[in-house]
Amino acid sequence: MTLTDTHPDPAIGDDVVMLTVPADGGYLGVLRTATAGLAARLHFALDEIEDLRIAVDEACAMLLAIATRGAELDCRFAVTEDALTVEVTVTTVRGAKLPAESSFAWKVLTALTTSATAEATGQRATIRLVTRRVNF
């Protein structure tokens, strides 16, 4: 597991935290805890924090299903004044595909976040979740 401390990203003016864990369901608690801590830092409401934790968990589960053996989940948290962006990336098996946007998993992600997008290029897949604070 690797944690890179919060640091400003001069290109976008955000605080950024990078966290890398083995692509194993046993480590998802670490990502959920980091998500909750950063959302609390933004003064998200408790229900918003829980929604984001569930969304991160669901996104990771989608990626674990297509991850190569021994892969790592790279998680990038970007903290702005009113939003938290979480990008989770993994190396995928050849020919892997993420669930369709009409799938139940995507319905969960879009219901729990402001926006959810995915990108699969080569042998890497990334899911990006953005949650904006409701009462900013």
Q: What's the CA gap between 96 and 125, in Å, rounded?
A: 9
Residue-range domains of the chain with CATH: 15-132 (3.30.565.10)
The DSSP code for 74 is E
Give which of 115, 66, 112 is closest to 89, Cα–Cα.
66
Residue 123 has pLDDT above 80, yes or no: yes
Q: Report, as an integer, the average pLDDT of 100-127.
A: 92
pLDDT tens across 14-64, in order? 689 999 999 999 999 999 999 999 999 999 999 999 999 999 999 999 999
**pTM for this structure?**
0.87
pLDDT value, residue 10: 45
- 126 — pLDDT class (breaks 50, 70, 90): very high
- Three-state DSSP state, 40: helix
Give which of 103, 69, 109 is closest to 86, Cα–Cα.
109
